[in-house]
Amino acid sequence: MAVERVLSGMRPTGNLHLGHYHGVLKNWTRLQHEHECLFFVADWHALTTHYDTPQVIEESVWEMVIDWLAAGVDPASATVFIQSRVPEHAELHMLLSMITPLGWLERVPTYKDQQEKLSSKDLSTYGFLGYPLLQSADILIYRATQVPVGADQVPHIEFTREIARRFNHIYGREPGFEEKAEAAIKKLGNKKGALYEELRTRYQESGDDDALEAARALIHEQQGLSLGDRERLLGFLEGGGKMILIEPEAVLTPASKMPGLDGQKMSKSYNNTISLRESPDAISKKIRTMPTDPARIRRTDPGDPAKCPVWHLHEVYSDDAKREWVNLSCRSAAIGCIECKQPVIDAVLAELKPIQERAALYAEDPTLVKNIVSDGCDKARRQARETMREVREVMGLSYS
Ligand code: TRP
Ligand code: SF4
Nearest to 46 by CA among 15, 71, 17, 83: 83
**Phi and psi (nearest 5°) for 348?**
-65, -45
Which residues of the chain are in CATH 3.40.50.620 domains?
Answer: 5-172+245-256+366-394
- For the chain, what is the largest distance between any 2 Cα atoms, rounded to a whole number of angstroms? 85
Q: Residue 393: which pLDDT band, with cuts at 50, 70 and 90?
A: very high
Tens digit of each residue's pLDDT (9 = 90 or more) over 330-348: 999 999 999 999 999 999 9
Rounded to an integer, what distance in angstroms lies between the CA atom of residue 19 and that of residue 25? 9
Contact status, residue 218 vs residue 192, Cβ threshold 8 Å: yes
Query: Could you tell me where in the chain the CATH 1.10.240.10 domains are found?
Result: 279-364
Structure confidence by residue, pLDDT tens digits, 131-187: 999 999 999 999 999 999 999 999 999 999 999 999 998 999 888 888 999 999 999
According to CATH, the topology of domain 279-364 is Tyrosyl-Transfer RNA Synthetase (1.10.240)
CA of 252 to the centre of ligand 1 (A): 13
pLDDT band at 388 (very low <50, low <70, confident <90, very high): very high
Q: Which residues contact 204 (CB under 8 A, 6 or more apart)?
A: 239
pTM recorded for the entire structure: 0.89
Please tell me the distance between residue 76's alpha carbon and the centre of ligand 1 in angstroms: 22
In this predicted model, what pLDDT tens digit does every residue of 358-371 receive, in sequence order? 999 999 999 999 99
Please list every protein residue whose CB sits less than 6 Å from any atom of ligand 2.
Answer: 292-293, 296, 303, 305, 308, 310-311, 326, 330, 335, 337, 340-341
CATH class, 5-172+245-256+366-394 region: alpha beta
In tens, the pLDDT along 9-18 reads 999 988 999 9
| Confidence at residue 175, expressed as pLDDT on a 0 to 100 scale | 83
Residue nearest to atom 3 of ligand 2 (CA): 337
**How far is residue 200 from each of residues 182, 212, 213, 218, measured CA to CA in Å?**
12, 7, 10, 11
What are the start-end ranges of the E strands in the chain? 5-10, 36-41, 78-82, 146-149, 249-252
> How many Å apart are CA 322 and CA 340, to the nearest integer?
10
| Residue 359 main-chain phi, psi, to 5 deg | -60, -40
Which of residues 241 and 351 earns the better pLDDT score?
351
Percentage of the residues of the chain whose pLDDT score is greater than 70: 99
**249-307 per-position pLDDT tens digit:** 999 987 767 999 999 999 998 999 999 999 999 999 999 999 999 999 999 999 999 99
For residue 39, what are the β-bridge partners? 8, 80
Residue 330 C-alpha to ligand 2 middle, in angstroms?
6
CA angle 75-78-82, nearest 5°? 80
Q: What is the pLDDT of residue 292?
A: 97
pLDDT of residue 238: 85
- Smallest CA-to-CA distance from 82 within 338, 333, 379 is with 379
CA dist., res. 167 & res. 169, Å (int): 5
What is the pLDDT averaged over residues 40-66?
95
pLDDT band at 240 (very low <50, low <70, confident <90, very high): confident
pLDDT band for position 241 (cuts 50, 70, 90)? confident
Average pLDDT of the segment spanning 71-92: 98
CA 26–ligand 1 middle distance (angstroms): 17
Is the pLDDT at 1 greater than 50? The verdict is no
Residues 219-228: tens digit of each pLDDT: 999 988 998 8
The pLDDT of residue 122: 92
Q: Please answer whether residues 80 and 68 qualify as being in contact, where contact means their C-beta atoms are separated by less than 8 angstroms.
A: yes
Helix and strand tally (H, E) in the chain?
Answer: 19, 5
- 138 vs 28: CA distance, rounded Å: 17
